[in-house]
Amino acid sequence: MINPNEITGLILAGGRGSRMGGVDKGLQTFNGLPLALHTLTRLQMGGGVGHLMINANRNLAAYESFGASVWPDGLADYAGPLAGFLIGLERCETPFLVTVPCDTPLLPLDLVPRLTEALDAQDADIAMAAAPEIGKDGQMQIRPQPVFCLLRVELLESLVKFTQDGGRKIDAWTALHKTVIVPFDLPGDDPQAFFNANTLAELRQLENT
């Protein structure tokens, strides 16, 4: 099995926060603490990572106060989560990197162990979480959550080429590699675990659930 000390956790907090009115989403409070700090703490509590980094493009000192190294995007103009993946792989000093967005303060405590187990069992390059979601037809379906990924660091060269060619969609890049989908739909799994708050109203709603 992969040892937690071989895994670095990366919190993705580099977005524009457009749907929150342009605020720095990771620094918005949830139950009194910044969203990104909730995410970082849950990664630590889960015991699946030995190291932590944050990808942010503004308010760097505030993020550094959380006790993790902070790296801005290497790509210009807020290029999206894949830019965070790229800087994470570039700066990662362990064989594996796990990525999580800053706006899911209820992420599963066993996220990393379950991704690790699946990646190891399938000898995959990437393990991606999936969670129940109501589709457009009103039926419950298991939908991949591409920002929750466990990656082998040797994928860096592939991602550099993909982004240099103009690629920006995570699932278009992961489709190029052996990817195992890991469903979080067991009876004890929290159905809200992967809910991401895109607006301040959704954030307040999540606090009250």
The reported pTM is: 0.93
For the chain, the 3-state helix, strand and coil shares in percent, each to the nearest 5, are 35, 25, 40
> In this structure, are strands 33-34 and 29-30 parallel, antiparallel, or unpaired?
antiparallel
> Quick one: average pLDDT of 83-105?
96
Q: Quote the number of domains for the chain.
A: 1
- Report the CATH number that the domain containing residue 81 is assigned in CATH: 3.90.550.10
Cα–Cα nearest to 9, from 61, 46, 59, 63:
46
**Per-residue pLDDT tens digits for 5-49:** 999 999 999 887 666 767 899 999 999 999 999 999 999 998 899
Dihedral sign, Cα of residue 160, residue 170, residue 9, residue 128:
negative
Supply the range of the domain harboring residue 147: 4-207
Percent of the chain residues past pLDDT 90, beyond the cut:
75
